[in-house]
Structure 1
Amino acid sequence: MVYIVQGRTIPGERPSKSKVPEPTAFPPISDDRSENTSEPGRYHLVVSLACPWASKAYLMRSLKGLQELISMDVVLPVRNPSTGWELLPPGQHSQPYPECSPDSSGLKAQYLDEFYLQACPDYTGRITVPLLWDKKDKTIVSNESSEILKFFAMSFQTPEAARPVPDYYPVDKRAEIDRVSRWIIDDFGKRVYMCVFAKSQEDYEAACRVVFKTMAELDAMLARSRYLVPNLQDGWAAPQPTLADWHLLPVLVRFDRVYNNLFKANLYYLSHFPNLQAYMVDLLQDPRVASTVSFKHIRDGYWASFPTANPKHRVPLQHDLSLPLADFSRTSMGLPEASVEGPEAIPHSGHHIDSSSLTGAFKRRESAHRHWIRADGSTPFKPEAGRYHIYVTNNCPWCHRTSITRALLGLEDAVSMDVLFFAMDSDRGWQFKTDEPGCSVDTAAGGIQYIMELYQRESSKERTVPVLYDKKLQKIVSNESTDIVRMMITEMREFHRAGAPQLFPASQADAIEEINDWVYDSVSNGAYKAGFANSQAAYEVAYEHFFEAVDRLELLLTRNKFLVGNQVTEADIKLFPTIYRLDPVYHLRFLLNKLLISESRPHLQRWLLDMLALEGVQACSNLDHCKKGYFGRTGNNLVPLGPALGW
């Protein structure tokens, strides 16, 4: 953010009110100005296609065909960290953003702050869009979107050659339009920003709940009316939209693309509100409206502008969020039947590229403690009831696969277990925290407080979990989840519960190993390759590999109940923790947001529910710990409320 204090442009966060004068306020647009708008070329509009507030002004200019009366420039979607909104230098063009332009107002400005300081040399306040500039008087008419929207709607007459347009702010409807518009701005447009700017979990949750309460109320309104304020005007056969609709549309357009993910307003997607979704589609069918929307500007502008929410500045690839046909019950309200093209595809590259070779690629370290329990006695670690102990944390997927295996095989009495806190201490790593529900004390190694203490006893610098510990020899057996799972399956058979599943039958060993290999590379570890990538390119390749594998899993599960036939095996155990976390955690935290399993992959969703129904699986799956562990210690530390999942 960039701020101006008494004529001096300051990069960084806005200073506290106690340190700076009150912000400068531009006076409301006068009646005299509103009545004298016939002078072509006098006014100039500066907008960002990323900004919803600026989009309102751009929308009305387009709807009324005012291009010849009001010139316009588009700033770059990503703000300059030192100077704020930026125009292209004179004579230049932007390949990725062809809509952007140099200043054509006559001021020859490159940065938006130059307009503010020209209009008011001792200006104090934010540098915002939209900005309406008077080229004749060389001053700012307004930088308030609602005021500019009304000014364009009420004051400018459409050129005679243009198509006729309705009155978007009719006198007899103004009180109702103002009331609905204010509600939308306060409880939706502004409130969704409170989600990302919240300073506490409580403030975030309060704002998020208001957002979805408002969406539900809007959806109910739109079940009865094509537009927010009924507006049937003389000369028009069908109802017409009003300013209230143009306040709402820019927020809806950005909801699934930005607010659901980046702002953590993720209880539901827009598609969960069928009337709101169809209403957005309806409005976007007007080419004058659709031409003002750029998903590339929206995507790039937002994901680069909120470092506390997106500290690695990675930009997500496209979501699988097509706009549906507007053919709900709202067709009786006059909705056109034609389909609308969905958001444009975001170009990408990297199919079938090994992401590990890319700069910024995440590489998982090899576990150093890899001893084996052997039933044949060939190692010092022999299977004995009560001898072994597992340390896990509920949010870790590698731990999760070990606790699931233990539960499915009924090894609770043979292998004891302690659950550590879901967040690591910044200096000492995984820790015990007994005041958190679901966590325990150390019961196997003498009351240690941190798992690093166990490693230090063996002069090891590792700190990872899970850990399989030998209480008899007081030694770490393994800290590699793959080995721990296999040992419980193959080497501790004498302690399995009667009727426990055969998780690694010899007849299916090759098929299980083949699935384990590609699931680990593209799905289980693949999620981390996307989430922990330190470059855009590495993230994008991991993203593509991940969802190619998800589609492969979906196809596989059309034929089988489980991954290898109709019985659960080790392959299912190893996959489950990742799919369990995909919708509620990885979708947002790791930007694996192409789709929701619960809504778009029915066979994988059915498999997930079948897994949860197996004995002991639900009991050792703690979604609350998962969300707190992944979200509570990164970025703005806010733990998202959503998504709302049926299971």
Structure 2
Amino acid sequence: MTEQPEGTTGGVYSRKGTEYTRDTRYLTTRITRTVEPGADAVAVEPGRYRLIAARACPWANRSIIDRRLLGLEDALSIGLPCPTHDADSWTFDLDPGGVDPVLGIHRLKDAYLTRDPHYPRGITVPAIVDTTTGAVVTNDFAQITLDLSTEWVDYHRPGAPDLYPVALREEMDRVMRYVYTEINNGVYRAGFAGTQEAYDAAYGRLFTALDWAEERLSTRRFLMGDAITEADVRLFTTLVRFDPVYHGHFKTNRSKLAEMPVLWAYARDLFQTPGFGDTVDFEQIKQHYYIVHKDLNPLQIVPQGPDLANWLSEHGRERLGGSPFGDGTPPDPVRPSERSPHSILPG
């Protein structure tokens, strides 16, 4: 069996000679506007919590994007671990002295062990840590972003988008479930398949789903219509990693993203939208996958390509109408202290 406590998989993965499976048992304490008696929840409080989210990880990248789009920088601080963690924990090697400046720890594992000294599962990102106790509150990545949209509303910036609109939630939940099982998780199902048969099945499922997305987005600018929602955030973080990592490293090579015309234009539309591309660090993404996944890449050689300049080319999606922020406004420029060190965006 192969096991790694690494946030790129959103949990510990296991492979017993057949299919890839994901451990989806998370710390499910929520951070909510109000806390009902007996609820496994704590109250939203600006400045109290710290989001730990590696730029390399697609699941963590969602939370970084949502925090930017919603303007929560002052309410929720962020810590950015090193992309090339060891088998034990994500670490803060990018910070001076290798220590998170707020939490005062070198390993994210320490915050998990503060919550539970016998914590038995993977040390994953994103995680939200209570700075008053030093303990992880939650690492439930799917619920974290929904709660940022619905429970932190008192601290959203003016003009922030409604990423989880009530009128669309029933359909959105179906779309996001399909995107998660078939695309977000689908690339891992192919990459970590333990047999040819498992890989073949995973490959077929993944490209069936990508063809579905290509068709859906041929007549609408975004997954749910004329403005961005959480569904777009969740699809984007897989698409932006597709050509640099998944196509080769995970053998998802029927076609590159750049060879799927609708999805490629859609991905560039989002990348060029404030809050999306300015959270992406392609260098850290490649370092993480090619160095950490030693079972797939034993020599840990990180490829030079692909050329990334085409992410800034015209996408032409405006012809479908709509606007990324609907009646709202883009977020302010990314703060210098939070700018991706390898950003390909101008400025």
Superposition pairs of residues 335-346 of structure 1, within 5 angstroms: none
> Quick one: which of 42, 63, 74 aligns to 1:402?
63
For residues 260 and 51 of structure 2, the distance between their equivalents in structure 1, rounded to whole angstroms, comes to 34
For 1:381, what is the secondary structure of its paired residue?
A: strand
Partner of 1:57: none
For 1:548, what is the secondary structure of its paired residue?
A: helix
Partner of 2:320: none
> Quick one: which of 141, 151, 162 aligns to 1:481?
141
Superposition pairs of residues 220-231 of structure 1, within 5 angstroms: none
2:279 is the counterpart of 1:620? yes
Partner of 2:129: 469
Partner of 1:442: 100
Partner of 1:561: 221
How far does residue 536 in structure 1 lie from its aligned partner after superposition?
1.3
> Quick one: which of 307, 322, 339 aligns to 1:644?
307
For residues 440 and 558 of structure 1, the distance between their equivalents in structure 2, rounded to whole angstroms, comes to 46
Partner of 2:342: none
With over 3 angstroms needed to count, the CA separation of the structure-2 counterparts of 1:424 and 1:608, relative to structure 1, is: same
Higher RCO by CA contacts (8 Å cutoff, separation 6 or greater)? 2
Partner of 2:260: 601
Say if 1:358 and 1:537, in contact at 8 Å, map to a contact too: no
How far does residue 531 in structure 1 lie from its aligned partner after superposition?
0.8
Partner of 2:248: 588
How far does residue 390 in structure 1 lie from its aligned partner after superposition?
0.8
For residues 393 and 625 of structure 1, the distance between their equivalents in structure 2, rounded to whole angstroms, comes to 9
For 1:444, what is the secondary structure of its paired residue?
A: coil
Partner of 2:193: 533
Partner of 1:387: 48
Q: Which runs of 5+ in 2 are unaligned?
A: 1-13, 312-347
Select the structure of larger CA radius of gyration.
1
Matching residue's letter, 1:408? L
For residues 572 and 554 of structure 1, the distance between their equivalents in structure 2, rounded to whole angstroms, comes to 13
For residues 214 and 164 of structure 2, the distance between their equivalents in structure 1, rounded to whole angstroms, comes to 22
For 2:43, what is the secondary structure of its paired residue?
A: coil
Matching residue's letter, 1:611? L
* Deviation digits for residues 388-420 of structure 1 (CA, Å, limit 9, x no counterpart): 111111111111111111111111111101111
For 2:20, what is the secondary structure of its paired residue?
A: coil
For residues 137 and 113 of structure 2, the distance between their equivalents in structure 1, rounded to whole angstroms, comes to 14
> Quick one: which of 565, 576, 595 aligns to 2:236?
576
Matching residue's letter, 2:93? K
For residues 385 and 615 of structure 1, the distance between their equivalents in structure 2, rounded to whole angstroms, comes to 23
For residues 506 and 434 of structure 1, the distance between their equivalents in structure 2, rounded to whole angstroms, comes to 39
2:74 is the counterpart of 1:421? no
For residues 628 and 357 of structure 1, the distance between their equivalents in structure 2, rounded to whole angstroms, comes to 23
For residues 132 and 235 of structure 2, the distance between their equivalents in structure 1, rounded to whole angstroms, comes to 32
For 1:586, what is the secondary structure of its paired residue?
A: helix
For residues 232 and 25 of structure 2, the distance between their equivalents in structure 1, rounded to whole angstroms, comes to 22
Partner of 2:156: 496
Over the residues paired in the alignment, what is the CA RMSD in angstroms?
2.0
2:31 is the counterpart of 1:373? yes
How far does residue 440 in structure 1 lie from its aligned partner after superposition?
7.5
> Quick one: which of 19, 38, 60 aligns to 1:361?
19
Normalising by structure 2, we get a TM-score of 0.79
2:90 is the counterpart of 1:433? no
Partner of 1:84: none
For residues 431 and 357 of structure 1, the distance between their equivalents in structure 2, rounded to whole angstroms, comes to 25
* Deviation digits for residues 588-637 of structure 1 (CA, Å, limit 9, x no counterpart): 00000110111x22211111112112222222111110011111233221
How far does residue 501 in structure 1 lie from its aligned partner after superposition?
0.7
Normalising by structure 1, we get a TM-score of 0.43
Say if 1:361 and 1:535, in contact at 8 Å, map to a contact too: yes
For residues 86 and 143 of structure 2, the distance between their equivalents in structure 1, rounded to whole angstroms, comes to 27
Matching residue's letter, 2:222? F
Q: Which runs of 5+ in 1 are unaligned?
A: 1-355
For 1:558, what is the secondary structure of its paired residue?
A: coil
For 1:433, what is the secondary structure of its paired residue?
A: coil
For 2:80, what is the secondary structure of its paired residue?
A: strand
Say if 1:419 and 1:441, in contact at 8 Å, map to a contact too: no
Matching residue's letter, 1:387? R
For 2:111, what is the secondary structure of its paired residue?
A: helix
For 1:373, what is the secondary structure of its paired residue?
A: strand
For residues 221 and 16 of structure 2, the distance between their equivalents in structure 1, rounded to whole angstroms, comes to 37
For residues 594 and 448 of structure 1, the distance between their equivalents in structure 2, rounded to whole angstroms, comes to 43
Matching residue's letter, 1:616? G
* Deviation digits for residues 126-167 of structure 1 (CA, Å, limit 9, x no counterpart): xxxxxxxxxxxxxxxxxxxxxxxxxxxxxxxxxxxxxxxxxx
Which segments of structure 1 move beyond 6 Å, counting only runs of 4 or more?
none
How far does residue 435 in structure 1 lie from its aligned partner after superposition?
6.6
For 2:136, what is the secondary structure of its paired residue?
A: strand
How far does residue 359 in structure 1 lie from its aligned partner after superposition?
5.0
Matching residue's letter, 2:21? K
Matching residue's letter, 1:406? R
Matching residue's letter, 1:530? A
For 2:52, what is the secondary structure of its paired residue?
A: strand
